[in-house]
Structure 1
Amino acid sequence: MGDFIVYLIPTDLTWQPSRDAAERTAAEARRLAGIPEHVYPSIEVEFFARITVAHPFENLERIGCPRCGGVIAVEWFDGLTDLNSPNPDGFDDLTVAVPCCGELVSLADLDYDWPAGFSRFRLTLWNPERELTDDDLVTLSAGLGHELRLIHAHP
């Protein structure tokens, strides 16, 4: 069985916390998720200069277009967001012409079946021992000073 990753990202794509708030929230997330401190990697605090994708990888089954309702190939999305894409270091603008209808849409507004997300900050939890609850998410959001959302990934 491969790694299981939980990304915690702010709901605002460009928002970043202070380094101290991020470190405190990471320690609390480690505790809530039951990740022992001696495990490496266990949790990463990541700040980005540009908007970066939190990709669900193998969990991503379908992408829908909010304009026409069409299905967008996961491979199209991967071509925009992986390390070999034209945007390997992130995005300044998430607006793209979708292949189904040609309309301009933000990548953040596509309908991902398993959620994907975009942010300039994230906490990455590696192989948590327990699933974070809605109450945990509220606690972590309050500690960080901004609402967080979860993205689950199996790379």
Structure 2
Amino acid sequence: MSSNYLRIIPDIPDWVPDESTAEQLALIAGELFAKRSSEVTAGDRGEVGFVDQGAWFESVSCPGCGAPIDDSWWQDRMDAAAETGFTDLSVRTECCGVATTLNDLVYRLPAGFARYVIEVRELDKTYADEEEMATLQRAAGRPLRQIAARY
């Protein structure tokens, strides 16, 4: 049987909240989601990693021109970035040559890179609503992204 996850990550992959902010985010996430999910965790994973959509992965496209990104091109860039522990996500797309990052490619469904992750398992809906996200973003002091995944 598969499981659904909602992962909420910062807009900057290597951002980690200070201890006070981390405690606040964990508390808020628990208050927002614990009664409507099977598990809520929040924390620093120790290194930047790819936060993917699992079975809900559809495609990747260029943020410059919107062209589809070739899977093998993307995988080669992911492998190269993994060799550096995802410390350098810079890429130049082959379609239009735009300088961007693996984090800023357009993933369908959304995906991204993060060291700090709020994870909600089996939430009663796929995504947090605007008010929930606004509450978390105020506590974090920065924009956050939502990644829905199924494994």
Tell me whether the two structures share a fold, i.e. TM-score over 0.5.
Answer: yes
TM-score under structure 1 length normalisation: 0.75
Matched, 1:137 2:121: no
Alignment of 1:1-155 (within 5 A): 1-35=1-35, 39=38, 42-74=39-71, 77=74, 81=78, 85=79, 87=82, 90-98=85-93, 105-130=100-125, 131-155=127-151
Deviations 1:60-116 (A, max 9, x none): 2111123454312446545655xxx56178411101354656765411221111111
Alpha carbons 2:50, 2:113 under 8 Å: kept: yes
Alignment CA distance shift 1:23-1:75 (3 Å): farther
Among the aligned pairs, what percent are the same residue? Answer: 28
User: Which residues of structure 2 form unaligned runs of 5+?
Assistant: none
Residue-pair matches, total: 149
Runs of 4+ in 1 over 6 A off after TM superposition: none
Taking only aligned residues, the RMSD between alpha carbons, in angstroms, comes to 2.9
Structure 1 or 2: more helix by fraction? 2
Shift in alpha-carbon separation, 1:114–1:13, aligned structure 2, 3 A: same
Runs of at least 5 residues in structure 1 that lack an aligned partner in the other structure: none
